[in-house]
Amino acid sequence: TEKDSSTSDADLVAGRDLLYCHCKTLRFDCVYRRSSGEIERGYSYQVSSVYTLPDFRKRGLASFFLTEVAKQLEKLPNPLISVLYSDVGPTFYDKLGWKYHPSKAATLEVAHPRNAISDDSSAELETMLLDDNLAKFLESDNARLVTELSGGDKFIGKEAFLILPTRDSIEWQFINGVHYAQVAGFDELPSCCGVKVNDNAFALWWHNLKESTLYVSRARFPDSGDNAAATTRVLLNAALQEARKFKLKKVVIWDPPSGLVRDEVCRLLEIERVPRHLFHDGSAMKSMPGSNFIANWCRGKDVLPYFHSQ
């Protein structure tokens, strides 16, 4: 604050005290796999909307602020890891203890001619809504994700974490799109949060009108089988159709699985893969040996895609 350098907010008064830096943190259910295969449950605390007043930048305030944020995250209930996404490149947060995780995003431009061709698939799509059915569906799928994390050969001898989507976390993202659609004056507001062919083929999304983007935040795309490419195209076409409905320019899928970017799919749709900067700090795990915000803690980990799986 302008008054002193205290990190306590107990005496802050809205409209009186000037905040130099601020951010928000979001809590998500998370599971962590030890190298032994043991699974631990807790929370991932996502740091977002980090902001420093323009007149006070280049003074080290953001570095100090985020260091203090990390200390506070360690004190929150059951912290396993913290995650943030960077729009200032891959080096700034790395110096503060968050480790860079190379990541990709698949982008489909709505106006591209190849993405405007409708498909003639006979696959039936079920509309997904923010209701009890979605909560039950995610609960079942999350149990499957944890089984996939704990079993198989992929993670033998490795540490990994997985952020689990819930109805609340999906709704938190979705209602932002509803608000901005209302502000923009759309007669019909977003109500469909995704589509499903079956438990192995579905996509959940939310509308970011400020970025003119439909984000697919959780999905399963079939990786094999006679109809895998056609089923993937059906799901992506549904997302493109939803984007057109709200005049959004693109569809973005974070951490696209292999089934999405294989040749059979890319021949049907124009999909561009671009890098995105994801950082994670596993040192928030107080109960883990070698924690206490040691910067090297996260090296050697596998990070399962954020809200995604094959």
C-alpha to C-alpha distance for 232 and 222, rounded to whole angstroms:
7
- For residues 141 and 250, give the distance between their C-alpha atoms in angstroms, rounded to a whole number: 27
> Where do the DSSP E strands lie in the chain?
21-33, 39-52, 79-86, 99-109, 126-128, 159-164, 194-198, 201-208, 213-220, 250-254, 272-281, 301-303
- For the chain, which domains are there? 21-102+277-303 (3.40.630.30), 105-157+167-275 (3.40.630)
pLDDT score recorded for residue 128: 97
The pLDDT tens digits for 153-209 are 778 888 888 889 999 989 988 999 999 999 999 999 999 999 999 999 999 999 999
Given a cut of 70, the residues of the chain with pLDDT beneath it are 1-8, 119-122, 276-310
pTM for the full predicted model: 0.81
